[in-house]
Amino acid sequence: MTDRPGDTEAPGDTEALPPPRTPGRYRVALVCLGNICRSPMAHVVLADQVAAAGLDDRVEVVSAGTAGWHVGKPMDERAAATLARAGHDPTRHRARQFEPSWHQDCDLVLVMDRSNLAEVGGETPRVRLFRAFDPENPGGEVPDPYYGGEQGFTEVMSMVERTSTHLVRLLSDAVAP
């Protein structure tokens, strides 16, 4: 979080996405700690929902971890199994690490928890908690399921699915010609 003037959130801010930086594809980055559990699940679900809405020529989804421990690796097999059960393809993911240049390259950076938020430099109009856009319970964190059981991945999936559905509506408005 930051106290810089103009960066504080006003009521209703969650409903509007920042405008595109450039005429190209609107780029959304999803960020967690390791880029093998939460942000890959959000990446695959949001990208599939974007494609289903016919927006994939105007919206690009990427993901990264703030840590580089798993760079180049596939996602956690529990995350992959959860995605596969819901009909998504988890096999193409390879972990990446967030770099400061992504702040210039992305239109929107959505992080999974407040620790991630601190790691990427704090909240700004283009850097938000992913669950700021959760239509059921906005403003929470996506809890890290890595050290827990299956249930944690199922809960992450529910949060990711409903938040992505809401984000696609907002993205559709943000990239409208």
The residues annotated with a catalytic role in the active site are: 32, 38, 144
* Binding characters for ligand 4NP, 156-175, by CB under 6 A (x = yes): --------------------
Q: How many residues bind ligand 4NP (CB under 6 A)?
A: 11
H or E element in which residue 127 lies: strand 127-129
Give me 93's structure tokens. Answer: 């993911």
Q: Which of 59, 1, 69, 72 is nearest to 30 (CA)?
A: 59
Is 69 one of the binding residues for ligand 4NP (CB under 6 A)? yes
Is 34 one of the binding residues for ligand 4NP (CB under 6 A)? yes
Tell me how far apart the terminal alpha carbons of the chain are, to the nearest angstrom: 33
Is 46 one of the binding residues for ligand 4NP (CB under 6 A)? no
- DSSP for 32-74 reads ESSSSSHHHHHHHHHHHHHHHTT-TTTEEEEEEESS-TTTTPP
Candidates 27-35, 85-93, 96-104, 120-128 — which segment interacts with ligand 4NP by CB under 6 A?
A: 27-35
Give me 117's structure tokens. Answer: 């938020």
Binds ligand 4NP (CB under 6 A): choice among 36, 45, 47, 167: 36
In which order are the strands placed within the sheet that holds 108-111? 59-65, 26-32, 108-111, 127-129
Residue closer to ligand 4NP by CB (options 38, 96) is 38
Is 43 one of the binding residues for ligand 4NP (CB under 6 A)? no
Residues that bind ligand 4NP (CB under 6 A): 32-38, 65, 69, 144, 146
